[in-house]
Amino acid sequence: MNILEKLAVNYLPEGIDQRSNDVDYPEVIKTTYYSNTTQSERKVDIVLPVNYKENKKYPVFYYLHGIFVDPDYMLQEELGTIPIYGNLLHKGLAKEMIIVIPDQYAPLKGHEFPAELNQDYYDGYDNFINDLVNDLMPFIAENFRIRTGRENTAIGGFSFGGRNSLYIGYVRSDLFGYVGALSPAPGVTPGEDQWSNHKGLLSEDELVAKIPPIVTFISGGTNDPAVGTFPKQYSEILTRNRQKHVYLSIPNGEHDPFSNKVGYLNFVMSLFGNLKNIDDSESESDGSESDGSESDVNEVDVNEVDVNEVDVNENDE
């Protein structure tokens, strides 16, 4: 059992999303790259760890925004992207990493549509997988010091970003070892919400990773008026398909910065080997031997766990 299943928190520890005068925070680089997929220059925001070194390599977390916004939206202070990561890093509760925040609306040239809740507009988001794999990831590899391999590559996002992260992470499990769907929107599988029908990128039976993710994390608020129960439905589909994952229910969570930050906090702490497997230590502490079995889903409903209890490995040089 991954320690995330034991120590996931469905609240925000005091001050974790606020800047502190005694903490150095990551640098943000705003740049563009050319996409052959969209035949256009595309913006991307890149968060570098404190004291980023040219002679050191770092794992990469691709962090996807929701619908109707752009990369800069994820850098708003109320979403906590920089403060949470910086504070976790300062406390030794997260690994050093590069966080890449792309524009995930990537329509083919001539297929741009008005920003509306319909399939024509969704198609531009569905095409992001091609821009990501064929254009953005090579750009990042060429211009930044990154560790390669799925064990050093994560994808996660909020709302429509969570939807696409779940889809991309599972169909390209050869590239991504960590998958985070934070309050994910409908559309990975066929479904219908109050605004539109979603054709689905995969059938429910197809939501299976060829290579099991190291971590699959799904979070959802219990009072989310936008995505409703879709996060829980995705968890149930993964359970039926015997895909190991962690589902975090956020009591009274809505489709808001709070739910985003709670999901982001937990996912960032889980990345790149930061959370140790505790099966053996648990067996030793209670005097029992593990039978080797693991549940396929762990629904976490924790109210009193302190984030500082998380066990971490040393950062790799």
pLDDT digits (tens, 9 = 90+) for 61-102: 999 999 999 999 999 999 999 999 999 999 989 999 999 999
The whole-angstrom separation of Cα 204 and Cα 108 is 27
Alpha helix ranges (H) inside the chain:
4-7, 81-91, 119-126, 128-131, 137-143, 160-171, 230-240, 257-270, 279-286
| Per-residue confidence (pLDDT) for residue 197, from 0 to 100 | 83
| Per-residue confidence (pLDDT) for residue 287, from 0 to 100 | 44
- Give the mean model confidence (pLDDT) for residues 147-166: 97
The whole-angstrom separation of Cα 98 and Cα 88 is 14
Helix (H) or strand (E) holding 216: strand 215-221
Domain annotation for the chain: domains and CATH numbers: 4-309 (3.40.50.1820)
pLDDT of 159 strictly over 60 = yes
Position 283 confidence tier, pLDDT thresholds 50, 70, 90: very low
